[in-house]
């Protein structure tokens, strides 16, 4: 395997040429550094002892480097097939160099088989890296969507509203609560409206999340109104035996706003102006 280490530059040149031939979107700047890092890591780990064992600990650093490259490529939009082909083209470059160095077919076959087993085993890692990369993207997008889908709006001095769209789970409830409490503090509001007209269904778990949010709001000295209680949701709440009697509830956001203005001793005249009572 000393031969391959001595031919590092030739291997990299061959590998780059193969990548260009197989990838119509090949970007030398993006892939050159990754290729150099992996090739150096692989060739440094290659020895007479490690080549006999594809699971040798000597390849741990190589696998770590490959996993990092696979995750990075997944985040940049490469498919599992493209990353797998990327690694297999490295194997082709290695085997081509070996074929130029050994004249004995038996020796060439034996050495090529060792290299093939190692690279083929590592190819599986590229799929693991792809999955991890996509999971990271999905997790980040989920967090971003959660943030976007929980906007707290100041509808009037002292009144904030939070329209909730979609299902409430424990993680999302935490975001809802944090955003609402922060906005109450930032605006000095004394009334908060939680509009659940966009929540498809209310079960005991969702109700408990709402009650916790109301309790946290009251700890800041603000009153909470829950609006968007549709007839079907009202029936479910009654059927489940959920007690919302100590919480102000309204069927529509408009009704909740009217109640909020009344609590602030404001009324709207026909010209749309607010009058303090």
pLDDT at position 179 is 86
The pLDDT of 105-110, averaged and rounded, is 87
Give the whole-number percent of the chain exceeding pLDDT 70: 90
Q: Residue 238: count other Cβ atoms within 10 Å of its Cβ.
A: 10
CB 87 within 8 A of CB 129: no
Query: Does residue 272 have a pLDDT over 60?
Result: no
The pLDDT of 66-81, averaged and rounded, is 85
Q: Residue 66 and residue 76: Cα distance in Å, rounded?
A: 15
Query: Does residue 153 have a pLDDT over 80?
Result: yes
C-alpha dihedral (182, 183, 186, 190), degrees to nearest 10? -110
Q: Residue 110 and residue 272: Cα distance in Å, rounded?
A: 88
Select from 50, 61, 126 the least CA-distant residue to 88: 126
| Weakest-pLDDT range from 71-75, 129-133, 155-159, 266-270 | 266-270
pLDDT at position 4 is 83
Contact residues for 101 (Cβ-Cβ < 8 A; gap 6+): 3, 7
Select from 116, 129, 98 the least CA-distant residue to 34: 129
| Average pLDDT over the chain, rounded to an integer | 83
């Amino acid at each position: 395997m000393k031969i391959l280490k001595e031919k590092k530059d030739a291997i990299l040149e061959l590998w780059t040429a193969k990548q260009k031939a197989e990838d119509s979107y090949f970007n030398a700047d993006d892939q050159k550094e990754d290729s150099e890092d992996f090739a150096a890591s692989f060739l440094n780990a290659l020895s007479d002892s490690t080549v006999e064992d594809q699971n040798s600990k000597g390849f741990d650093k190589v696998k770590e480097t490959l996993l990092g490259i696979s995750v990075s490529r997944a985040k940049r939009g490469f498919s599992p097939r493209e990353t797998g082909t990327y690694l297999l083209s490295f194997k082709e470059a290695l085997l081509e160099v070996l074929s130029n160095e050994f004249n004995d077919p038996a020796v060439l076959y034996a050495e090529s088989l060792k290299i093939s087993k190692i690279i083929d085993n590592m190819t599986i890692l590229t799929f693991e890296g792809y999955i991890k990369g996509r999971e990271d993207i999905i997790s980040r997008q989920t967090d971003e969507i959660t943030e976007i889908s929980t906007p707290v709006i100041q509808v009037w001095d002292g009144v904030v509203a939070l329209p909730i769209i979609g299902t409430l789970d424990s993680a999302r409830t935490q975001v809802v609560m944090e955003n609402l409490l922060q906005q109450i503090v930032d605006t000095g509001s004394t009334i908060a409206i939680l509009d659940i007209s966009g929540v498809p269904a209310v079960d005991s778990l969702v109700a408990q999340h709402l009650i916790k949010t109301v309790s946290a709001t009251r700890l800041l000295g603000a009153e909470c109104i829950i609006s968007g209680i549709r007839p079907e949701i009202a029936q479910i709440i009654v059927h489940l035996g959920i007690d919302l009697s100590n919480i102000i509830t309204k069927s529509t956001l408009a009704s909740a706003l009217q109640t909020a203005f009344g609590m602030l001793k404001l009324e709207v005249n026909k010209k749309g102006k607010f009058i303090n009572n």
